[in-house]
Structure formats: structure tokens, C-alpha cells
Amino acid sequence: MRIAQRGFSLLEMLIAMAIGAVLMVSVGRFLPLLLEQNLRLQQRVQLQQELQQIVNTLQKALRRAGYCHGQCSGSALTIAASGSCVLLRWDENSNGRWEGVGHSESDYYGYRLRSGQLEMQRGVDECNSSGWEKLSDPAFLTIDTFKLERQGTRLVLQLAGHADSQSVELENWIEGINL
């Protein structure tokens, strides 16, 4: 009696191994490109999120500018340094006055672009003072453009930044309700 043989022949196994090797080499070449594209996409998303968070912070502050629950005197919004420094005032504690620069609860705020970073400070009435805090991580994000233009009660905010080879530009129109 003859026993039927099952399985692959040596030739079939060699062909299958050769096809498998070609597939593995092509996947090995494609995978680094795929990982690089994924990294770029993640950087761009993180950059977009960082800039959007900064814009949201600025929008909130700009909408508050000029609010006073009483009689406040002085300018609620000062745009200096060709739009790259903004000084704001609003009555945060609703006591009917803007607390001065030296007060512990000062109602004076400032935002400026300096050395590729957007900085913020409370209790400031000029753009060249010290003690400003960065709003983002300088190791990741560099701000290229920060500009604010006033058109009546409407404000145009332009913000652009880059991280490595990725760059994002944002422009927002803000209605200054209290200006």
C-alpha cells in the first residue's frame, strides 16, 4: 500500500521564502518613511493646538479689556511696538476701578513678543519692563508673528509659529465688547 505524501516540496518552500523575504525588505524600507510622516503629523497637530491655546487665552483677555463695574479712567487697550505688544486693563474683581500697577490684585495686563516667545505679565503698564513669563515651551515652539490691529471695536489678531519644519499661521477677529 502506498501512503499519500502531504506538505510542500522543497521548491515550493524556497519560492515561498523568497517571496516572504522580498515582502519583508519592502516593509522594512516603507516603515521608516511611515514613522517619519507620523512624527511630522504629530508635530503639526501639537503646534496647531499650542497656537490655538495661546489664541484662546488672548481672545479671552481682549474681550475682557475695558470692562469696568463703575467709573474707570484711562485707556483700556494700548497697542505698542507695531502691534507686537498689547497692554490691557479690566476690572477683574468688579470693584468699580482698575487697580494700579503696584497693587497685589492689579487689573493691568500685558502680552508681548520677545525673542521668538510670547510673554505675559500682570501688573504692567509698559512693554519694556522685566518679569514677563513665557506662554509656551521655547524648546518646542517659536513664535514668528504676534500682531494686533484695532479697527474700531474689532480687533484682528495674527499669530504664527513654527516647530522644526512645521509652521502654522492663525488669524482671528475679536469683538472688543467693552472698548
Tens digit of each residue's pLDDT (9 = 90 or more) over 31-52: 889 999 999 999 999 999 999 9
Which residue shows C-alpha cell 463695574?
Answer: 69
How many whole angstroms separate alpha carbon 168 and alpha carbon 161? 6
* First and final C-alpha spacing in the chain: 103
Q: What is the pLDDT of residue 8?
A: 81
Tell me the pTM: 0.81
Q: What is the pLDDT of residue 1?
A: 59
Q: What is the pLDDT of residue 26?
A: 86
How many whole angstroms separate alpha carbon 32 and alpha carbon 66? 53
Q: What is the pLDDT of residue 152?
A: 87
Q: What is the pLDDT of residue 55?
A: 97
Q: What is the pLDDT of residue 63?
A: 94
Coil, strand or helix at 62: helix
The residue count for the chain: 179
Q: What is the pLDDT of residue 28?
A: 86
Name the stretches of the chain with pLDDT < 70.
1-4
